[in-house]
Amino acid sequence: MSKNEYTPEIMAPAGDQSSYLAAVAAGADVVYLGLKHFSARMQAKNFSISDLSALASLGREHGTKTYVAMNTLVKPDDAQSAGRLIHRLAATVKPEALIVQDLAMLQLARQAGFKGELHLSTLANVTHPSGLATAKELGANRVVLPREMNLDEIREMAKACPKGLDLEVFVHGALCHCVSGRCYWSSYMGGKSGLRGRCVQPCRRLYKQGKDHDPKRLFSCMDLSLDVLTKPLLDIPQVSSWKIEGRKKGPHYVYYTVKAYKTLRDNPKDAQAKKMAESLLEQALGRPTSHSVFLPQRPFTPIRPLEETSSGQLIGQIKKDGKSFYFSTREELLPGDLIRVGYEDQPGHRTLSIRRRIPKRGRFDIPFKKNLKGPAPRSGYKVFLVDRREKELSKLIKGLEKELEKFEKPAPKESNFEPKMPKGTGRRSKQRSVHMQVNRTLPKGRIQGSPALWLERSSLQGVSRQTIPRAIWWLPPVIWPGEDAKYRRLIKDAQRNGAATFVLNSPWQIEYFKDRKAELIAGPFCNIANHLALAALKGLGFSSAIISPELPAEDVYALAKKPIIPLGIVVKGLWPFGISRILADEVKEETPIKSPMHEVAWVRKHGQNYWIYPGWEMDLTSEIKHLEGAGIKTFVYLHEPWPRTVPRPRRTSTFNWKLKLL
């Protein structure tokens, strides 16, 4: 296919220099990567500004652009350091785009003099067509669509795409079980937030349900691979980028996936090219793959608890010979290859580099000295080849390393950039405190505090005409393209019957109210955590905000010091681990699911989504007096009917209140 103005770019991931150079060698149009801070993949090695400056210059010489991901939640004290980092990037690296999640980053980038494009990460959770107009209004040039969308939904988003905004679609790589921007699992279990790039991947772990004594990976997804299904995307001009996930992967994976998708993009009608691309992807050493939900007529749940879903190619199984551990390899191993012994949640798990050639069916002894490198591996552990160092690719990378030497690395230079922070009122709102009781259906009897209901047809029809005007109506955290018209109708019907106050659980939902008069509150799923984001909400028309429940005490009090708009907080109830669009057949709803540490979770479906709940509530009610004293005005209680089969716990959680959010 000859290139035209609608040819999508192939966008490659890079977590280190070798992967960046592999992407350039493969002919990637773009490399996206993260820095040492403010990246949603903090486990990757990532880049310093000095190193990145030379790489970006090399990339430009080869026709490869550089996008920098600064797609994390911004805490109250992060604005200055984030702004200074962007200021240094703009002056030294000059990346063609920044990928951001937080509303604050849109403002900081322009304040710091960044002239490139601003792309909203999939973590920003722009999931419905109406929201694209608000994204454009706030300064975004591109929206990265969620991986959970099918082809028809991508087309719907494209039709609604305003001029000057384009879309990016994932075509390959790891899938999260929960919807991006709607996963709190890792954070709830100990302060390592996925929204801040610290996810410990609890969805990849072993779980048991019911009478099954054998734990299974009930939430661990296969990888996404659209491979030959990418052809229809070429007919959607608003889709300007095909994104390959994998910033923690090595150069081998990057090189082969980029080559494969370039082949598919440039030769969509060539059957031989398709076979070649499929062959390249088979060599990429990812997890087992699926098309996931991409085909609307043939959706596939990408979870197979009884099958292998680990990253890399299975090449053997650990055996014990006396005091030695070894395996017989099913594939030839070359010097520089990386192998992983066991899964990441198994004791004795490790990644090893091969130092000498080992022939197929040859023996490899696992180096292990007791008490020096942690616990030993165990018999039966599986061994995976996770990265290769074949001669041809190594030669290409070494050639580019030589070219890289001619580009000077600038000396580290501090920035004196000071962000223009919004001016708070400096005084506390005189409005009285509101205790908001949020229900699926209004309970019988007296309600303590202000009644609130999730906005659904059943809840509108299930209450009296007198209740509708005094109730506070909550929109869901995720609205999919096919639900856009539904919620427009529900809002219209609610307002026709007197509804006046709505809680929006995504900033992009404000588009529903552009021609409607209502009091609008930003809900807790908006993930608001800093003053600049609050100012952006105020500019959009929000009257108040319920801040992110992930925040620890120090950050909540820092936000309350200089209020931009009145603040609220969730103080009690079942806060979900995460919200998903998929569920394995083996997982039964409303039934206890137990981790190896005997922690309990359970699942309930609401609309198109599955909500995964912990088996215990969060409870900050003991902090209410202190919060009132700090000026917090709204206290939210989330009421969810307790499943009959899930035992009532003795414990509660303070979430991250007493921790430091990483």
Going through 308-353 in order, the beta strands assigned E by DSSP cover 313-317, 319-321, 324-328, 338-341, 350-353
Does a structural domain hold residue 258? yes
Contact between residue 48 and residue 55 where contact means Cβ atoms under 8 Å apart: no
Answer yes or no: do 24 and 121 share one domain: yes
What was the pLDDT predicted at 2? 37
Dist. CA 328–CA 308, nearest whole Å: 19
CA torsion, ordered 21, 23, 24, 29, to nearest 10 deg: -150
Last residue of a domain, one of 372, 404, 436: 404
Please report whether residue 103 resides in a domain.
yes
Residue 66 lies in a domain: yes
Please indicate, yes or no, whether residues 237 and 381 belong to a single structural domain of this protein: no
Tell me the C-alpha distance between 533 and 422, whole Å.
10
CB neighbours (10 Å) of residue 3? 8
Residues 109, 131 within the same domain: yes
For residue 216, give both structure tokens.
């299974």
Same structural domain, 254 and 377: no
278 with 329, same domain: the answer is no
In a domain, 417, yes or no: no
Domain of 331? 313-387
SS3 content of the chain, % helix, strand, coil (to 5): 30, 20, 50
Residue 327 and residue 241 share a domain? no
Give the strand order in the sheet containing 593-594.
Answer: 208-209, 593-594, 600-606, 609-614, 578-580
Token pair of 577 as six digits: 């681990």
Query: Do 369 and 256 fall into the same domain?
Result: no
Domain termination site, one of 354, 387, 420: 387
108 and 155 both lie in a single domain? yes
Same domain, 323 and 236: no
> Measured on CA atoms in the order 162, 168, 170, 176, is the torsion positive or negative?
negative
Is residue 21 assigned to a domain? yes
Q: Does one domain contain both 318 and 280?
A: no
- Domain assignment present for residue 290? The answer is no
Residue 499's contacts (CB-CB under 8 Å, 6 or more residues apart) are 468, 469, 471, 473, 491, 518
Q: Are residues 268 and 323 in the same domain?
A: no
Tokens 């009644």 belong to residue: 451
For residues 125 and 164, state if they share a domain.
Answer: yes
- How many domains is the chain partitioned into structurally? 2
In this structure, is residue 332 part of a structural domain? yes
How much is the pTM? 0.94
d(CA 387, CA 313): 9
Residue 306 lies in a domain: no
The stretches in the chain having pLDDT less than 70 are 1-5, 39-45, 369-374, 425-431, 445
* Single residue among 352, 387, 422 that ends a domain in this structure: 387
What CATH number is given to the structural domain containing 19?
3.20.20.70
